[in-house]
Amino acid sequence: MTEPLIRFDDVTKRYGDFTVLDDFCFEVAPGEKVTLIGPSGSGKSTVLRILMTLEPFQEGTLQLAGMSYHQENGRGRFRASEAHLRQIRTHVGMVFQSFNLFPHMTVLRNIVEAPTRVLGLGRAEAEARAIELLRMVGLSEKKDQYPSQLSGGQQQRVAIARALAMRPRVLLFDEPTSALDPQLVGEVLGVIRDLAHEHDLTMLLVTHEMRFAREVSDRVCFFDKGRICEEGKPEQIFSTPREDRTKEFLRSVL
């Protein structure tokens, strides 16, 4: 078996007295496409936010491509330094429900900003790559517009191009179509579907689009109360779920 690219080992995450993830274990293989489904508050976004280094956790270990989110010395175990976390973050991209584009920058600037600033790419190279990505998401002609001049679906496609511009090994999607008008959902799912055919890219996707999850995922994980209650191939989870909680959840969303 290949080494997992992502490995959560007994991760516990609390907010005050409230335990969101309790001894959470989860592994993702390189190139794997995994969908996280489950009721509101079950911890799906928390898993993505921890991976993106946006949230610390209290116990357990997490590794991405062999890099640990912690460091140890004679005095104990600490969250890795900001410099180290920044290093980890160059391998992970995240697409949010609310796009989060920089409003004062053009589409092109939005995409070249991080590669030039963080990766030190030359402007010409970054722009060439951005234009290629804009073509991929079908927005070549919008490069000089500002986010406010785009539809939600277009903004989200720019956000995906922006995440890809960093050439991440892992791309995280947290309900990427939930904020969109129904008629714009398809264009964004289309882009994500194309990406899912990229074998090198590892994808973790939180979505309520169950049909889509079924099409693109290698594995579906059903979350309940901070744990993976059931996981398996999409056909198995959607057609023959084993756990009562999974059946109940699927009945409520399908």
Which residues fall within 8 angstroms of residue 45, CB to CB, at 6 or more apart?
Answer: 174, 206
Under the criterion CB under 5 A, does residue 42 sit at the interface with Mg ion?
no
Under the criterion CB under 6 A, does residue 46 sit at the interface with ligand ATP?
yes
Under the criterion CB under 6 A, does residue 154 sit at the interface with ligand ATP?
no
Query: Pick from Mg ion, ligand ATP, none: which does 93 bind, CB < 5 to 8 A by kind?
Result: none
Q: Closest residue to Mg ion, Cβ-based?
A: 45
Residue range at the interface with ligand ATP (CB under 6 A); choices 42-50, 74-82, 182-190, 192-200: 42-50
Which residues fall within 8 angstroms of residue 99, CB to CB, at 6 or more apart?
Answer: 147, 152, 155, 156, 158, 159, 179
Q: Which of residues 2-31 bind ligand ATP (CB under 6 A)?
A: 15, 18, 20
Under the criterion CB under 5 A, does residue 35 sit at the interface with Mg ion?
no
CA torsion through residues 88, 90, 93, 99, sign: positive
Which residues fall within 8 angstroms of residue 7, CB to CB, at 6 or more apart?
Answer: 26, 27, 28, 61, 62, 63, 64
Helices marked H in the chain: 44-51, 82-89, 107-117, 123-136, 152-164, 182-196, 210-216, 234-239, 244-253
CA distance 64 to 70: 11
Query: Pick from Mg ion, ligand ATP, none: which does 15 bind, CB < 5 to 8 A by kind?
Result: ligand ATP
Unique residue bearing structure tokens 């511009």: 165
Task: Give the residues across from 230 on adjacent strands.
Answer: 222
Cβ closer to Mg ion: 121 or 220? 220
Cβ closer to ligand ATP: 26 or 142? 26
Under the criterion CB under 6 A, does residue 43 sit at the interface with ligand ATP?
yes
Judged by CB under 6 A, the residue of 41, 103, 122, 186 near ligand ATP is 41
Q: Which of residues 166-185 bind ligand ATP (CB under 6 A)?
A: none
Cβ closer to ligand ATP: 45 or 116? 45
Binding stretches for ligand ATP (CB under 6 A):
15, 18, 20, 38, 40-46
